[in-house]
């Protein structure tokens, strides 16, 4: 079917159901960042291949809302589809509910949505402004060639890596449920399920999770998963840990039969699951549903000692791969007049990571942005569009690995050759100074990430420069590279930074058509030593830098660096060398020694 044929088929279903507007978001039933292809409904309907977007279809119009990362891509891929592009990052772009309310007879219309693709909170917010109807119309028309729900086998994740047994986690979660008088907890977020049950899988790109649901009760735990995903090893593991199994789709009937108090996180649990709870709550006087932040989300973010040591181990493996990659880039990649493409650089880095102990896959799609492409914050090089890289100019490389030991995410910007423009050195140094300011921050317990955000931006602000993306995101342990609830960004996040949280530290400067510069390490919150000057009883926290990789010191404008900043870089480079050099051969070790050589004014 062409896009026009798909839209016609959808409109026919809308007419039959009495639906005036139908909304197809780029979501799945588990509020995932990366979706299995089975749920690429927005992409299938529109022909747009971006990871973020929502299609709105009326009887005579179709529109796609997406953010600025995808404006150029969407403009090309929507051509001839009759789907209009709505630039949601633009200040004058209405939200979808605002547009429907204005364009569809002041919102007096019926808006159809698949309740599995909307969180309870989002559905409730829309319902305050629009008349919504829960109906899955895409299932009716996407009948030919729709990918199946992934059926790869799930596998146990050893407590040697996780730092806790399933029994310990279940006991703690049940205690937290009891504190809220909860009889059952619905869990739909795939990373929360993987963490709770110490299981992993291959169902979602870059995220070792298992498509499933869990209902945790005070006397049992039930995993809802496709039977094909559970082999003998997995079945024995689940049985040993007292975890019952039911088919994936059975979750709705199971929830319908629950009594007592059911807890759910409305930011993650989808509306279809909630409607199952709600029906039972109405039918039974003693039943009710409580929307509460998931206790798993909070505990998962606080890494235990085993997880943190695993992260340090993974960082050493990543440091080996990056050292080998950058040495190859400098000494071999452009030898004898050869050039490379951005995609070839991505493939070569992958080859070096494959050599590492316990490496499983990338933690996200590598960003290799040469020159102006580096200024596109979420740039994606493809074989058809990637740039040719020459031994001159700027390269931004944002990459990460999923190791059994932990998850890595690092960005380095390097100069490949030629005379370095003074503005490039200034930009690089502003970014590096902000990066160091956040990494060395001391702050009282209870501080939120948004209170630290300006530390990373202060130097570029003084130069009249800023950036639009977040300064730091939470990171999982052999789970999602992006996790909450903690972050560092301008938006007000009520979550305070706690010991054991891991976040990224990644300020950047982007000059369209010229270069992008970003420097990123992962850092973890630790207690700060008490100083003699302290006059209060407040506990203070600081960060430990986990990532191990040198900076491109030729890009540093030393004249605007303080002695304290230079000392920090030298001590960091000494640590990188001491932890990585013993794992390298002689030539690699000598290369790393030169890259980590002390700098001074």
- Dihedral sign (CA 367, 368, 374, 379): negative
What's the confidence (pLDDT) of residue 284?
58
Strand segments (E) across 292-409: 340-341, 359-362, 367-370, 388-389, 394-399, 401-403, 406-407
At 280, the pLDDT band (50, 70, 90 cuts) reads low
Distances (CA, A) of 433 to 315, 326, 426: 22, 23, 10
Indicate the pTM of the whole model: 0.93
Lowest-pLDDT range, 35-49, 332-346, 407-421, 535-549? 535-549
At 51, the pLDDT band (50, 70, 90 cuts) reads confident
What's the confidence (pLDDT) of residue 89?
86
pLDDT tens-place string over residues 529-553: 877 777 666 789 999 999 999 999 9
At 279, the pLDDT band (50, 70, 90 cuts) reads low
Task: Classify burial at 504, counting beta carbons within 10 Å of its beta carbon; exposed 0-12, middle 13-18, buried 19 or more.
Answer: buried
Query: Which residue has 């896009």 as its token pair?
Result: 3
pLDDT tens-place string over residues 197-245: 999 999 999 999 999 999 999 999 999 999 999 999 999 999 999 999 9
What's the confidence (pLDDT) of residue 536?
67
Flag whether pLDDT at 56 surpasses 70. yes
- Which is the CATH superfamily of the domain at 3-141? Creatinase/prolidase N-terminal domain (3.40.350.10)
List of residues 6+ apart from 91 with CB closer than 8 A: none
Spell out the domain ranges in the chain: 3-141, 155-300, 302-595
pLDDT tens-place string over residues 317-327: 999 999 999 99
What's the confidence (pLDDT) of residue 468?
84
What's the confidence (pLDDT) of residue 384?
87
- Cα-Cα-Cα-Cα torsion 317, 319, 325, 331, nearest 10 degrees, comes to -130
Residues 151/229, Cβ–Cβ less than 8 Å? yes
Rounded distance, CA 460 to CA 429, Å? Answer: 9
At 287, the pLDDT band (50, 70, 90 cuts) reads low
Strand partners, 503: 474, 523
Q: Which CATH class is domain 155-300?
A: alpha beta
pLDDT tens-place string over residues 406-419: 999 999 999 999 99
Q: Do domains 155-300 and 302-595 have the same CATH topology?
A: no
At 259, the pLDDT band (50, 70, 90 cuts) reads confident
Q: Where does 302-595 sit in CATH, by number?
A: 3.90.230.10
What's the confidence (pLDDT) of residue 537?
65
């Amino acid at each position: 079917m062409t896009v026009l044929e798909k839209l016609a088929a959808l409109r026919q279903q809308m007419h039959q159901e009495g639906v005036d507007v139908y909304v197809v978001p780029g979501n799945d039933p588990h509020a995932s960042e990366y979706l299995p292809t089975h749920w690429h409904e927005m992409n299938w309907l529109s022909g747009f291949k971006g990871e973020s977007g929502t299609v709105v279809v009326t009887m005579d119009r179709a529109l796609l809302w997406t953010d600025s990362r995808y404006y150029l891509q969407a403009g090309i891929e929507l051509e001839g589809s009759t789907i209009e592009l709505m630039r949601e990052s633009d200040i004058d772009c209405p939200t979808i509910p605002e547009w429907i309310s204005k364009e569809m007879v002041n919102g007096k219309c019926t808006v159809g949505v698949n309740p599995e693709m909307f969180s309870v909170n989002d559905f409730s917010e829309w319902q305050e402004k629009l008349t919504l109807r829960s109906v899955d119309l895409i299932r009716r028309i996407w009948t030919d060639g729709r990918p199946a729900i992934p059926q790869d086998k799930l596998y146990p994740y050893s407590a040697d890596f996780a730092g806790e047994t399933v029994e310990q986690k279940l006991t703690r979660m049940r205690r937290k449920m009891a504190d809220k008088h909860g009889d059952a907890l619905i869990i739909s977020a795939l990373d929360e399920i993987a963490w709770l049950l110490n299981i992993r899988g291959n169902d979602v790109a870059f995220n070792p999770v298992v498509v499933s649901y869990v209902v945790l009760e005070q006397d049992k735990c039930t995993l809802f998963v496709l039977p094909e995903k559970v082999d003998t090893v997995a079945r024995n593991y689940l049985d040993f840990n007292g975890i019952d199994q039911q088919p994936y789709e059975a979750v709705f009937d199971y929830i319908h039969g629950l009594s007592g108090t059911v807890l759910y996180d409305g930011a993650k649990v989808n509306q279809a699951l909630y409607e199952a709870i709600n029906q039972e709550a109405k039918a039974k006087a003693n039943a009710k549903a409580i929307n509460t932040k998931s206790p798993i989300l909070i505990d998962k973010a606080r890494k235990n000692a085993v997880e943190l040591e695993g992260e340090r181990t993974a960082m050493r493996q990543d440091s080996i791969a990056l050292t080998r990659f950058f040495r190859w880039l400098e000494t071999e990649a452009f030898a004898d007049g050869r050039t490379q493409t951005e995609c070839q650089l991505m493939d070569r880095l992958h080859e070096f990571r494959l050599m590492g102990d316990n490496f499983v896959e990338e933690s996200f799609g590598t960003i290799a942005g040469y020159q102006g492409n580096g200024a596109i914050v979420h740039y994606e090089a493809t074989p058809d569009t990637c740039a040719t890289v020459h031994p001159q100019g700027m390269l931004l490389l944002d990459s990460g690995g999923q190791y059994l030991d932990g998850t890595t995410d690092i960005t380095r910007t390097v100069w490949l050759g030629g005379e370095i423009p003074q503005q490039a050195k200034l930009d690089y140094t502003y970014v590096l100074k902000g990066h160091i300011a956040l990494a060395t921050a001391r702050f009282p317990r209870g501080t939120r990430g948004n209170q630290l955000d300006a530390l990373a931006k202060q130097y570029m602000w003084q130069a009249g420069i800023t950036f639009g993306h977040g300064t730091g995101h939470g990171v999982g342990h052999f789970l999602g590279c992006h996790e909450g609830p903690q972050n560092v960004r301008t938006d007000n996040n009520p979550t305070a930074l706690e010991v054991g949280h891991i976040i990224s530290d990644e300020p950047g400067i982007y000059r369209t058509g010229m270069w992008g510069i970003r420097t990123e390490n992962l850092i973890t919150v630790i207690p700060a030593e008490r100083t003699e000057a302290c006059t209060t009883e407040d506990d203070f926290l600081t960060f430990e830098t986990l990532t191990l990789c040198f900076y491109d010191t030729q890009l540093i404008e030393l004249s605007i660096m303080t002695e304290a900043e230079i000392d920090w870089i030298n001590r960091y480079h000494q640590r990188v060398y001491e932890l990585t050099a013993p794992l390298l051969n002689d030539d690699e070790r000598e290369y790393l020694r030169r890259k980590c050589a002390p700098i001074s004014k």
